[in-house]
């Protein structure tokens, strides 16, 4: 598949240019978390940590989701075509 074909195909699915850098990072993060979970009990580690550490992590995760989820593009109403 040529590069132009691939970029237009990903663009038609809603991917932007900067997504090509974020997606591998997200996949690597998920694989790392899965590997760590298989070696130790991450859930128990999270719940046994002090409240301020947990809530700082929760707020940081929400900030990351908002930061990477924010876009200036106008999203069309999903059911407009029906």
Three-state secondary structure of 12-38: HCCCCCCHHHHHHHHHHHHHHHHHHHH
Report the largest interatomic distance among the alpha carbons of the chain, rounded to a whole angstrom.
52
Judge whether residue 5 has pLDDT over 50: no
pTM of the model: 0.47
**Tens-place pLDDT, residues 20-71:** 777 788 889 889 988 888 888 877 877 888 999 899 989 998 998 888 776 6
Burial grade of 19 (CB within 10 A; 0-12, 13-18, 19 or more): middle
What does the alpha-carbon distance between residue 18 and residue 10 come to, in Å, rounded to a whole number?
12
């Amino acid at each position: 598949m040529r590069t132009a074909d691939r970029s237009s195909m990903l663009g038609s699915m809603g991917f932007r240019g900067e997504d090509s850098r974020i997606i591998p990072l997200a996949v690597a993060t998920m694989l790392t978390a899965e590997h760590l979970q298989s070696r130790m009990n991450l859930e128990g580690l999270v719940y046994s940590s002090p409240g301020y550490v947990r809530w700082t992590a929760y707020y940081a995760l929400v900030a990351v989701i908002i930061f990477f989820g924010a876009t200036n593009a106008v999203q069309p109403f999903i059911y407009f075509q029906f």
